[in-house]
Structure 1
Amino acid sequence: MDRLLRPRPGSVSDFQFGAVATETIEDTLLHLAQQNEQAVQEAAGRMGSFRETRIVEFVFLLSEQWCLEKSVSYQAVEILERFMVKQAEDICMKAPIQLRANEKTESWNWKALKEQLFNKFILRLVSCVQLASKLSFHYKIISNITVLNFLQALGYLYTKEELLESELDVLKSLNFQINLPTPLAYVEMLLEVLGTSLGQKIEKFISVKEDFMLLAVGIIAASAFIQNHECWSQVVGHLQSITGIAVESIAEFSYAILTHSVGANTPGRQQPAPPHLADRARRGAASST
């Protein structure tokens, strides 16, 4: 199995920024913003329940072991999250029907459904990673043999037919809509825009608020401060111009990321008596326009 999991050299160098036409970038950014706004409006209260740290770490470590690119890891997490939420919703929908039956039958069916969901979780997780790898087929696809060997190493004995059925269950449950936007896609797109000469503001993104777009600008702003805090205000200004997200929101989100990541070494604490973070970012935005 080690031979199958041997890393592929030079994968990161295959990606290049600045190789796409400005018009294409603008269209893609607009499409992402529209998708994001719709996702925020349709988000259910249970979304995020299956993005717990241990689950996400498992997916990322498995993807790393299988030498998959980072985008596959993010895609697999999104597929798994939506599939498991859908499975949980289906169980809840069956509950009122079961309540009409006698109490003993209802109790047994409810317990059986929960056990089935729990017992197949690892299989579903691996199927989501495999499906995500097929979305980036130009890079690497995980074979059924590799998946079955991995499951066997964990003590799970499945057949090739059961593995294919699991993939089909995921696809059918999500109506074959598995090419989902991820936080990484927003980060990469905004970095691409920052590397171009877009001079005008894109007012179409003003309505985008607490979502993947905000997460992306917060990550970029926090990273810019760590790399070179003197240029941080200018980067925040550019991000505000590109996305339409308020400077205050970008500043507060980047502050939260830095506080969580590096503790006291944050934009708001680099001097004994610093100016307000948003004021500093606002001045940077004004100077960059």
Structure 2
Amino acid sequence: MTSINTSRQNNLAGIMTMCGGVAALCINDALAKSLMDHYSPIQIIFLRNIIALPFAFLVALKMGGSRSLRSSRVHVHFMRGVVWIAATVMFFTSIHHLGLAEATALAFVAPLFITALSAIFIARVGWRRWLAVSVGFLGVLVIVRPGAATFELISLLPIATAFTYAILMLSARFVDTRESMWTLLLYLSLTSAILTSIPVIFVWSPVRAEDIWLFLAIALCGSLGMAMITQAFRFAEAPTVAPFDYTALIWATALGWMFWGETPDVLTFVGAAIITASGLFVIFRESKVAAETT
């Protein structure tokens, strides 16, 4: 009975932490959308990571000790930093032109890209998961509506973001397995700050006094969100907490409506529902396959 209660408590802690982390990242995206009127994505990324770096350093030191500050594959972290910057630039650009909920819904195809790329480079994927991937991309077509009068080429950016994010997730396989998740988070902030330090010179805009608190907030929310989501997977199993990543659509819709008066149309919600259902099926199917092979 004690072990069951402990398991329930861990699951609840994982779910609550995951929801909190997702909310923090959605606020991070909303802050980026407001800053995009005056600053380039590169400058936002640079300042966010410079401000967040001490926090990431302290968290890594606290959670993993001095060992978490070292890496034997720094070149892999730099490669992941490049991919992370590309994904962030594309997503920030997309939310500058699209509704927050629409861009978030399209970015939900990342788990489907992970499944497809895994089938090509890592392991065989069964027909059920391929069917889920196909249905998920049908949801993308419902939202984007290619060929329709409302189609915008910028709608492809969140999809490209999801693809690069999938590459980022799979690239974690090339990191030394002895390195903790906190090391990955630290080096992601560090490499992003270093890699944007040169290009930011060419796009720099003086930071307005009224925007300083926004940069502080985006650094806090971005770092806190990533740390909380990482911690959620430590509290509970992935199939328990991963589905709650989709609560981002609720936050994105609410924030978009509150601050920009954005109201997604019916087809956007229909497409988002299809993508979400497909992603959830992939998560549960992969957990079942993993359980059967162990």
The two structures share one fold, judged by TM-score above 0.5: no
TM-score (norm 2): 0.24
From the two aligned structures, give the one with the greater helix fraction.
Answer: 2
TM-score (norm 1): 0.24
